[in-house]
Amino acid sequence: MTRFILARFASAVLIIFGVSCLVFILIHLIPGDPIDVMLGETAHPTDKEALRNAMGFHLPLHIQLFQYLQGLFRFDLGTSIHSGRAITDILLERLPATLELGVGAMGIAILIAFPLGLFAALRQKTFIDVGAMTFALVGISIPNFWLGPLLIMVGALWLGWFPVSGRDGLLSLILPALTLGTAMAAILSRMIRSALLEVIHEDFIRTAQAKGLSETRTVFRHALRNALLPVLTLLGLQFGALLSGAVITETIFSWPGIGSLMIEAIQQRDYPIVQATILCISVMYIGINLLTDLLYAWADPRIRLRGTS
């Protein structure tokens, strides 16, 4: 198990290093000059050149990359070009909102997906199964940038039950969490249905039924527990995708998280913040996937054997 954990950690570190280098290079290839954004295009060329030298933008790209990586090894993300504040402080202010949105969306997805997937598997080829899978198809097909405004129009403007935007209490979390969680619920319900259909036809399920166990006890004590392994993997992957995919949802609902911070930084050509937000999202995604691998290996020893062979 130790070798398996070390191998996964080493792989995660290499991926984070590669992402850091790639993001740095791609961002510096984007058209636009942050000096023009800070001083304006009508500023004197001498002032622009002085600021460029002070910010280190006059150095060759490989030297800037080396200095950036040095800062990362010291856990120093630099300072914002636009506000002059430490980027670490800005991320710590925004990160709780993104985590809150991700956890809320995950909770909604689980509450919707488990009953749908369970009843669809137990009532296969009935109207319940067809209805659940139709919902799954619709949920996967609707993009966040369409569903979000629709929920705002219905829930906030027509019914007046929820705030239009912002982060102010539990009610303001419901609409963005629904926007993010619906697509995940659709994917998760299909996986739960598929995993249960594979398990409920196994011999040990028929044995449990032959011993006189009720359908409820058979499903929850035997079938569902054995069907959770692939579902666990999907939960981990989708939670990482929720955090990384929250950019659109946070922008629609003016949710003060990492995603909206990245959009603001792109508009201001604030390279250090763009790099830091993408790195933060990547680290969260990789960390969740790593945790999922470890939980999966703990639940199924065969994974450890294959991972260290």
Written as one string, the DSSP assignment of 120-153 is HHHTTTSHHHHHHHHHHHHHHHS-HHHHHHHHII
| Assigned token pair, 56 | 């280190």
Residue 275 lies in a domain: yes
**Axis crossing angle, helix 87-122 with helix 258-267, rounded to the nearest 10:** 130
CA 195, 197, 200, 202 dihedral sign is negative
What is the domain extent for residue 180? 87-308
Between CA 300 and CA 93 the distance in angstroms is 38
Per the model's pLDDT, the better-predicted residue between 46 and 220 turns out to be 46
Confidence check: pLDDT of 259 > 70: yes
* Over residues 154-173, mean pLDDT: 83
The answer to whether the CB of 104 falls within 8 A of the CB of 177 is: yes
Could you tell me how many residues make up the chain? 309
Please give the single-letter amino acid code of residue 247. V
Residue 91 lies in a domain: yes
For 155-169, 200-214, 240-254, which range has the lowest pLDDT when averaged over its residues? 200-214
Per the model's pLDDT, the better-predicted residue between 48 and 65 turns out to be 65
- Per-residue model confidence as pLDDT tens digits over 103-123: 888 888 888 888 888 888 777
Burial 40-70 (b: 16+ CB within 10 A, else e): eeeeeeeebeebbeebebeeeeeebbeebee
* Over residues 291-296, mean pLDDT: 73
What percent of the chain is predicted at pLDDT more than 70? 80
Residue 191 lies in a domain: yes
Q: What is the CATH number of the domain that holds 97?
A: 1.10.3720.10
| Cα radius of gyration (the chain) | 24
Residue 49 lies in a domain: no
User: Which residues are CB-contacts of 50 (< 8 A; sequence separation ≥ 6)?
Assistant: none
| Assigned token pair, 261 | 């911070």
Residue 35 lies in a domain: no
* Over residues 77-102, mean pLDDT: 85
- The structural domain count of the chain equals 1
Per the model's pLDDT, the better-predicted residue between 19 and 241 turns out to be 19
Q: What is the pLDDT of residue 38?
A: 65
Q: What is the pLDDT of residue 32?
A: 66
Residue 165 lies in a domain: yes
Residue 69 lies in a domain: no
For 2-6, 132-136, 298-302, which range has the lowest pLDDT when averaged over its residues? 298-302
**Tokens 């959770």 label which residue?**
228
Residue 28 lies in a domain: no
